Chains A and B, each alone.
Chain A
Amino acid sequence: VKYFEDVQVGDVMRFGRYEVTREEIVEYARQFDPQPFHLDEEAAGASLFGGLVASGWHTGAMFMRMTADHVAAIHATSGALGFDDLKWIRPVRPGDVLSVESVIREKIPSRSRPDRGLVRIESRVHDQRGEDKMSLVTLVIYRRRPEAAR
Chain B
Amino acid sequence: VKYWEDLEVGQTIALGSCAVSETEIVAFARKYDPQPFHTDPEAARQSLYGGLIASGWHTCALLMRLGVEANRREGIAATGSPGLDSCRWLKPVRPGDVLAGRTEILETWPSRSKPIGFVRRRSEMVNQHGEVVLQIVGITMYRRRPAAAA
Binding site for B on A (CB under 8 A): 28, 31-35, 37, 48, 55-57, 60-62, 64-65, 68-69, 72, 78-88
Contact A33 B65, CB 8 Å, known A61-B32, A69-B34: yes
Q: Is B79 an interface residue (CB 8 A)?
A: yes
B57 and A79 contacting across the interface, CB-CB below 8 Å: no
Contact A57 B84, CB 8 Å, known A34-B65, A35-B68, A65-B33: no
B60 and A60 contacting across the interface, CB-CB below 8 Å: yes
Q: Is B9 an interface residue (CB 8 A)?
A: no
- Chain B interface helix/strand/loop/mixed: mixed
Q: Is B100 an interface residue (CB 8 A)?
A: no
Q: In the complex, how many angstroms separate the beta carbon of B111 from the nearest chain A beta carbon?
A: 12
Q: Which residues of A contact B35 (CB under 8 A)?
A: 68, 72, 79
Q: Mark B45-73, 1 if CB is under 8 A from A, else 0.
A: 00111000001110011101100100000
A66 to B87, CA, bound (A): 19
B61 and A31 contacting across the interface, CB-CB below 8 Å: yes
A64 to B60, CA, bound (A): 12
Q: In the complex, how many angstroms separate the beta carbon of B36 from the nearest chain A beta carbon?
A: 10
Q: Is B81 an interface residue (CB 8 A)?
A: yes
